[in-house]
Amino acid sequence: MAYLEIQRGVNRSLCGGFLVKTNFVLTAAHCNGDKITVKLGAHNISEQERSQQKIPVHHRIPHPQYDKKTLNNDIMLLQLSRNAVLNNWVRLIPLPNTKSRVRPGSMCSVAGWGRTCRNSRTHTLHEVDLEVMKDNMCHLYPGYYPSAMLCVGKPGLGKLPYRGDSGGPLVCEGVAQGIASYVDEHLWEPSVFTKLSTFIPWIQKILQKQN
């Protein structure tokens, strides 16, 4: 898991992300800003843990077709200014292949440092298991696009990603299948994740180009 400190003008915000190559972090395009710093290997981000690696982002690459209104193509690669050191605390998360499908009913996990409820901030990493839902469960979300999005989380359980959890991975059987995208609105509706398998050709193209 990567913790992203984002500077936009005078405003600061946070997002999650995940390491897919020693010098690349994957996150949501709406987590973009003027300056981003990545913390890897963190558990409590308010402490100077010896496991932490703090690396500035050298280059931000949001998807060229990212749509701010619908959050379609909500995916961004961050090239780090130096390679992360892989160890017990910092590892790569495997990506799916393009044919990978996550069936409704699959149990996956999502983690982040986002709020645990509307008024409650947290400094420690939280993880929760979530069920992948049928696409029609996200019909209330007007921009929902099944071929590029995943509908995740049983409504009413209150166990959903929330503010600050954007950009974090949806991990199913050890593979990142989604990126937390639309998480802000209501804790009683499913969340929308960017479907990673759709974007593998784009990701691979950039990773090869930046070698």
Instruction: Supply the residues annotated as catalytic.
Output: 30, 74, 166
What angle (nearest 5°) sits at the alpha carbon of residue 175, between those of residues 130 and 178? 55
DSSP-derived secondary structure letter, 96: P
Tally of CB atoms within 10 A around 209: 8
Q: Do the beta carbons of residue 38 and residue 57 sit within 8 Å?
A: yes
What angle (nearest 5°) sits at the alpha carbon of residue 178, between those of residues 84 and 120? 80
The residues near 183 (Cβ < 8 Å, ≥ 6 apart) are 114, 160, 161, 162, 163, 165, 166, 191, 192
